[in-house]
Chains A and B, each alone.
Chain A
């Protein structure tokens, strides 16, 4: 009975996602472009799509040797594995603490959750990344030291700790569903739904929240800030959708998830792409993906510009 209800709502299941959309529309050869954030960044640069600046790319243990001299000049940064997923292995350093002792500078790092990390710990974490602890298939990986993005003031009342991000599912270049992930205390300040961040569905037509959930349960208020979640209006909405839609042109994946963050000064920038975006977005929106995907499959034209496709999506979904 529940299965027929799911079907009526058009909820997309994992098997269907893989069999009907990912396998048919995503060429395997394009995966490295999205799985490896170094490649994504290179491609994005060529396409003029804004992404956080990569300060440093560490490909082997040798480069760790003089690591401290390379980062001493940055005040904050993010360490992430190039092939990571679900935010695993990401450490956000919000402050680099420099202490002078016996004429030598000793570095330590304040994380976004205010824990202090020593240089050795940081290096150990990076070597863990290099040996593939966090990569999708467990093979050796590259670590990226990246510009830390600041939170856009609009999110102050809606998030705890880290930076919220906006996930847009793009099918054949058309945005089909979107949500904003708002970190909470229980998610350790991360925008990760599995860890208890809020997923708030966004109307594609106007960028306004339509519903919010924490781990499948509908919530009306942010548990940490107690602010109502129903009045969040995403600024730069059309730009956000256009940015997501252009990612399709950039990497050529028919079914992809674009993670976009809002910066206080640059506006929306692309954080990363995902070739197998999760299905939790349907719970956040209390709506199924299938009707939208099928509509695009039947009606979507392939020769439109990103702007025109966004126009279509904003009108129809």
Chain B
């Protein structure tokens, strides 16, 4: 039997990995359901002004950092077509046989991720044809041109790279041009040193193009942070993009973002020049509403479909086929073996003492079920009750089991007290307490108080801290959602865990704690040997 151990262990370790490779490479399944982060429901309602049979308006498009899904718009009475003459923006056109007098609606679900680039030195000389329009320098007054070239002389050196020049222009406009929504032309801005967001973007655009860097003004909306904000009307705001390192780099001189765009901004169109007329208040009235619908969650539903589609054995045996409450339960339960690895490492390789064998894991689960704050308070209160009862109940000469039951009852009394105290924060009321850990923690208390009596406070404290440390470590691991989902999606990894545990069980080396324990042995043995020789 002994000689099979390496083979069995090897199989246990490798087999699930092979399954993972099969799943991802052959079946093309993802190993973890897709992360759904902040997702907004985006609504647009537009009405053209005047008597027109047709009008256009920009709508969001999937691209770098943006995913648009579930687009919905009324098709009745209208011919709707989208025109994406530029690769990164869409303009939608509504056409009707009769003049459009009612609002048209557009809604979509958008998922915005922050984007960030590292921009390196750029000295490109020539650009492809498609980019030439972004190099055309807008017409400005001769005196403005003079002012701009003076400005350029002041802030730029002749020999620097395009990236460096762009950075300097960005710093200048971001810091020196004050925001003032009343100032709407480049001329005024150059005179007063103030400008509206749009004019700041335009100035940047102009200066970038003068440095022969393709640039454009982008039209964005700021997504609301809090729910109430969503009801307020959202306005367009403006920023820039420049073409460096062979890609469009976002720049925002109004809010101070260089080569990055936070996920609170959704770009509607990447070239203001093209849609300037469409979004002008002269031609159209519009209302934009965005509501946050989901916060950082894994999309289990999608994955369920993906599994079913894969048409493999996994379509039949996946945990995703279980009813939802069972799924939730297994998500948690599958963490226990991971906790067991941490525990085995801590006990057998490091040598951290704990109360009971599995109490740290149960404690960690308890922390996860309630909350870390409540969990630790609960733990310490129970410890205090346990120590305190030793002093009081010792005088009563009670038999051990009733005495332990008294502690258990006291713990429940404490819980009632706690819920009264915390009723305002409605802290505990929403979270169901798992009763299992209560009993486990309580039974350990009697041992704790005996340990204090027999081995002293110091060694008890060590064990107590050890227990808490491992449970916190396990707890921290339980909070890596990706890990949780990874285990749930690929439960075959349990075999790998068994393999790892076999390896740990076979470990016969020293524990780290023995390094401390036998440290003096080594030292004193050396001293003794020296004396002898």
Instruction: Known A11-B518, A282-B518; judge A16-B528 contact (CB<8 A).
Output: no
Is A211 touching B400 in the complex (CB atoms < 8 A)?
Answer: no
Measured between alpha carbons, how far is A131 from B505 in the docked complex, in Å? Answer: 33
B158 within 8 Å of A (CB atoms): no
Contact A283 B399 (CB under 8 A): no
Q: Is the CB of B521 within 8 A of A132?
A: no
B454 within 8 A of partner (CB): yes
B83 in the interface, Cβ–Cβ < 8 Å? no
Q: Mark B506-520, 1 if CB is under 8 A from A, else 0.
A: 111111001101111
Q: A6-B518, A286-B528 are in contact. Are A133 and B400 (CB under 8 A)?
A: yes
Contact of B522 among A6, A14, A194, A195 (CB under 8 A): A6
Q: Is residue B93 within 8 Å, beta carbon to beta carbon, of the partner chain?
A: no
State in angstroms the CA–CA spacing of A132 and B511 once bound together: 30
Closest to B524 in A: A218
Interface of A is mostly: helix
Name the CB-closest residue of A to B450: A133
The answer to whether A15 and B522 have CB atoms under 8 Å apart is no
Q: Assess the A286–B400 pair: CB atoms within 8 A.
A: no
Indicate with 1 or 0, residue by residue over A208-240, a CB within 8 angstroms of chain B CB atoms: 000101001110000000000000000000000
Q: Given A61-B399, A282-B521, 6 other A-B contacts at CB below 8 A?
A: A6-B510, A11-B518, A14-B514, A15-B507, A19-B505, A216-B517
Query: When the two chains form the complex, which single residue of B400, B447, B454, B506 contacts A128, counting CB atoms closer than 8 Å?
Result: B400
Contacts of A282 in B (CB 8 A): 518, 521
Asked whether A3 and B507 contact (CB < 8 A) given A127-B399, A283-B520, the answer is no
Could you pull out 13 A-B pairs where Cβ atoms are within 8 angstroms? A3-B515, A6-B515, A9-B522, A13-B514, A19-B508, A61-B399, A121-B397, A127-B399, A131-B400, A194-B455, A279-B517, A283-B520, A286-B525
B348: A residues at CB distance < 8 A? 15
The interface of chain A, by Cβ under 8 A from chain B, is 2-3, 5-7, 9, 11, 13-16, 19-20, 61, 88, 120-121, 123-124, 127-128, 131-134, 138, 194-195, 211, 213, 216-218, 279, 282-283, 286-287
Does the CB pair B397–A124 fall under 8 Å? yes
Complex alpha-carbon distance, A86 and B511, angstroms: 22
* Closest A residue to B449 using CB positions: A133
Contact of A131 among B401, B455, B521, B522 (CB under 8 A): B401
Q: Which residues of B contact A121 (CB under 8 A)?
A: 397
Residue of A whose beta carbon sits closest to that of B396:
A124
Question: Which one of B351, B400, B454, B515 lies within 8 Å of A2 (CB-CB)?
Answer: B515
B446 interfacial by beta-carbon distance below 8 Å: yes
Report the separation of the CA atoms of residues A132 and B403 in the bound assembly, to the nearest whole angstrom: 13
Bound: A61/B351 CA distance, A: 39
Task: Give the nearest-CB partner of B351 in chain A.
Answer: A14
Q: Which 8 A-B pairs have the closest CB atoms?
A: A131-B400, A124-B397, A13-B510, A216-B520, A16-B508, A19-B508, A286-B525, A5-B522
Measured in the bound complex, the distance between the Cα atoms of B516 and A3 in whole Å is: 11
Q: Pick from B397, B450, B506, B521: contact of A216, CB below 8 A.
A: B521
> What residues of chain B have their CB less than 8 Å away from a CB belonging to chain A?
348, 351, 397, 399-401, 446-447, 450, 454-456, 459, 505-511, 514-515, 517-522, 524-525, 528
Q: Which residues on A sit within 8 Å (CB–CB) of B446?
A: 133
- Counting chain A CB atoms within 10 Å of each CB, the highest count among B450, B515, B520, B525 belongs to B525
**Residue numbers in A under 8 Å from B521 (CB-CB):** 6, 9, 11, 216, 282-283, 286
**B residues less than 8 Å from A3 (CB atoms):** 509-510, 515
Question: Shortest distance in angstroms between A100's beta carbon and chain B's nearest beta carbon?
Answer: 25
Would B509 and A132 count as touching, CB distance under 8 A? no
Q: Would you give the shortest CB distance from B59 to chain A, in whole angstroms?
A: 65
Cross-chain contact B520 with A217 (CB below 8 angstroms): yes
For residue A89, give the distance in angstroms from its CB to the closest CB of chain B: 8
Q: How far is the CB of B221 from chain A (nearest CB, A)?
A: 62
Are B525's CB and A9's CB within 8 A? Answer: yes
Q: Nearest Cβ distance between residue A253 and chain B, in whole angstroms?
A: 20
Instruction: Looking at the assembled complex, report how far the CB atom of A73 sits from the nearest CB atom of chain B, in whole angstroms.
Output: 25
Chain A residues with CB under 8 A of B459: 194
Give the residues in chain A near B514, CB-CB below 8 Å: 6, 11, 13-14
Which B residues are in CB contact (< 8 Å) with A7?
A: 510
Given A3-B509, A13-B509, A138-B447, are A283 and B400 neighbors across the interface (CB < 8 Å)?
no
User: CA–CA, A276 to B351, complex, Å?
Assistant: 17
**A194–B458 CA distance with the chains assembled, in angstroms:** 12
Closest partner residue, chain B, to A5 (CB atom): B522
When distances are taken between beta carbons in the complex, the residues of chain B under 8 Å from A124 are: 397
Measured in the bound complex, the distance between the Cα atoms of B351 and A132 in whole Å is 26
Query: Which residues from chain B contact A194 at a C-beta distance below 8 Å?
Result: 455, 459
Contacts of A279 in B (CB 8 A): 517
Assess whether B511 is in contact with A13, with CB atoms less than 8 Å apart.
Answer: yes
Bound-complex Cα distance A16 to B524 (A):
23
Verify A88–B509 contact, CB threshold 8 A. no
Write the nearest CB–CB distance from A91 to chain B, whole angstroms.
Answer: 12
Q: Using Cβ atoms and an 8 Å threshold, which residues of chain A touch B518?
A: 6, 11, 282-283
| Residue numbers in B under 8 Å from A88 (CB-CB) | 450, 454
User: Considering the chains assembled together, what is the distance between the CA atoms of A121 and B394 in angstroms?
Assistant: 10
Check if B400 sits within 8 Å of A132, measured CB to CB: yes
Q: Which of A9, A14, A128 contacts B511 (CB 8 A)?
A: A14
Q: How far is the CB of B390 from chain A (nearest CB, A)?
A: 12
Q: What is the CA–CA distance of A124 and B403 in the complex, to the nearest angstrom?
A: 12
Cα–Cα distance between A6 and B510 once the two chains are bound (Å): 9
B residues near A11, Cβ cutoff 8 Å: 510, 514, 518, 521
Whether A120 and B397, one on each chain, are in contact in the complex, defined by CB atoms closer than 8 angstroms, is: yes
Return chain A residues, CB-CB under 8 Å to B351: 14
Report yes or no: B397 in contact with A2, Cβ–Cβ below 8 A.
no
B21 → chain A, closest Cβ, in Å?
Answer: 33
Complex contact A131–B399 (CB within 8 A)? yes
Q: Contact between B509 and A16 (Cβ–Cβ < 8 Å)?
A: yes
- List of A residues within 8 angstroms of B399 by Cβ: 61, 127, 131
The complex places the Cα of A5 from the Cα of B459 at a distance, in Å, of: 27
**What separation, in Å, do the CA atoms of A286 and B450 have in the docked complex?**
32
A306 to B204, CA, bound (A): 97
Residues of A within 8 A of B507 (CB): 15, 19
CA–CA, A211 to B525, complex, Å? Answer: 10
A195 to B451, CA, bound (A): 12
Taking CB as reference atom, which chain B residue is nearest A215? B520
Nearest CB of chain A from residue B524's CB, rounded to whole Å: 5
C-alpha gap A194/B148 in the complex (Å): 83
Task: Give the chain B neighbours of A14 by CB distance below 8 A.
Answer: 351, 511, 514
Report the nearest A residue to B506, measured CB to CB: A19
A120 to B397, CA, bound (A): 8
A110 vs B518: C-alpha distance in the bound complex, in angstroms?
A: 39
Q: What A residues does B515 contact at CB under 8 A?
A: 2-3, 6
- Chain B residues, Cβ within 8 Å of A16: 508-510
Q: Looking across the interface, which residue of chain A has its beta carbon closest to that of B400?
A: A131
